[in-house]
Structure 1
């Protein structure tokens, strides 16, 4: 099946740039969020309110996923979804300042657990001489600039674009077009790498980019047609340089 068989056909030609998602692609968000919230709930003496720590953490994830989806759909702005997550999780009618303060205390624990995935820097090193690099994230620019700088990789990327500042989120094609314009490249000259099969890989495919789904844990099915699936970033250099990258999608792992 040709790449982009279900979306605009990607024009054949060499990939000149790799655009990256950040959370759970380059940065281990899930582990940091879990460790950060566990420490935060203990510090706030809130664990006794729940059947178990695991139940409290599962509830936080459910609430986060629900309100993050609202933000992605354009129903609420970035910082408002944070406050709504806190209010729903606590079951309390906090005002904005109170919700911001609670979330801010959580951030201290969360940031203490920040780490890149082990394959992130080696892959960026392997690709550095051959491709330009940028970030497109469904977050806020101030958040991701700070995160990438703290983790020591901000200088790897020419530009960082984020949904909260663009006014449009992935998988909308306008988000992907914005990064194409920022790099002054055609969609067919860009590969997009992200951990979400639909928001990231299919969205990129539909916008005419080379969509690459990073399925780190496996077991999530084949994913959308017309995109590439990898299970580690270490597979990416070979995929980008392979002779078949403009033909049938390859599945590694």
Structure 2
């Protein structure tokens, strides 16, 4: 049976979407830029586009931030100016950090005998600070983040690195994340049990039997005993 769970953070444990919306609204307004629905949609599109370039290895973590800024300030914006602009956004972002209400109770319930760790497409310092701020860091043995390990989801090497750190074979580990392709399908392809946390109100697409969909983390204690190697 499953002996450990690897967790995604953003939009799985941490309400990234709401924090980003609140922060972008305040930041764009403070910078004297449009901050209506269209502007927020543009911000989210830029984030997805350039973060995907980061996970594909085309940009570093810092470069993807700068590219998002240059869409607003111009393509020749110096690095220092772009970094300062993004740092001002981060100030608003960190003020909006919060965990989903089902995160801590579920982790507390599953503490024994299961082990818990993080696999995230981000940087370790950022995710360490985030988990500490939202009160969840103590639940996890370690954080494996793509910037430091050199592999990003959906690459199987990212999942295998985390499993090796746990000293467990992939079939003894479950992975839970909010993205169907990058998290769920990728975890299955790497040999882990794949759990998709789908908090969206839209009906899901048809799913293969190896993708286990839940809509709240409180469903995990019931689901986990049904997963077998």
Pair 1:156-2:139 in alignment: yes
Matching residue of 1:7? none
Inter-partner Cα distance in structure 1 for 2:3 and 2:107:
14
Give 2:119's aligned residue: 136
Q: 1:229 aligns with which of 202, 213, 223?
A: 213
Question: Which residue number corresponds to residue 122 of structure 1?
Answer: 105
Q: C-alpha displacement at 1:246, in angstroms?
A: 2.8
1:246 aligns with 2:195: no
CA RMSD of aligned residues (A): 1.3
- Quick one: distance in 2 between partners of 1:224 and 1:206? 13
Q: How does 1:169-248 map to 2 (within 5 A)?
A: 169-218=152-201, 219-242=203-226, 245-246=227-228
Q: Any unmatched runs of 5+ in structure 1?
A: 1-13, 248-253
Q: 2:19 aligns with which of 32, 35, 57?
A: 32
**Which residue is 1:16 aligned to?**
3
TM-score (norm 1): 0.87
Rg larger in structure: 1
Which of 1 and 2 has higher RCO (CA within 8 Å, sep 6+)? 1
Q: What are structure 2's unaligned runs of at least 5 residues?
A: none
- Does the C-alpha gap of structure 1 residues 223 and 98 become closer, same or farther in structure 2, counting only changes over 3 Å? farther
Aligned length: 228
After superposition, where does 1:90-105 map in structure 2 within 5 Å?
A: 90-105=73-88
Is 1:82–2:69 an aligned residue pair?
Answer: no
CA distance in 2, matches of 1:118, 1:204: 25
Q: Is the Cα contact below 8 Å between 2:70 and 2:82 reproduced in 1?
A: yes
Secondary structure in 1 aligned to 2:181? Answer: helix
Secondary structure of 2:148 counterpart: helix
- Please state whether the residue corresponding to 1:61 is helix, strand or coil: helix
Task: Tell me, in whole angstroms, the C-alpha distance in 1 between the residues paired with 2:156 and 2:55.
Answer: 13
Task: Give, in angstroms, the shift of residue 151 of structure 1.
Answer: 1.2
Residue 228 of structure 2 aligns to a residue in which SS?
Answer: coil
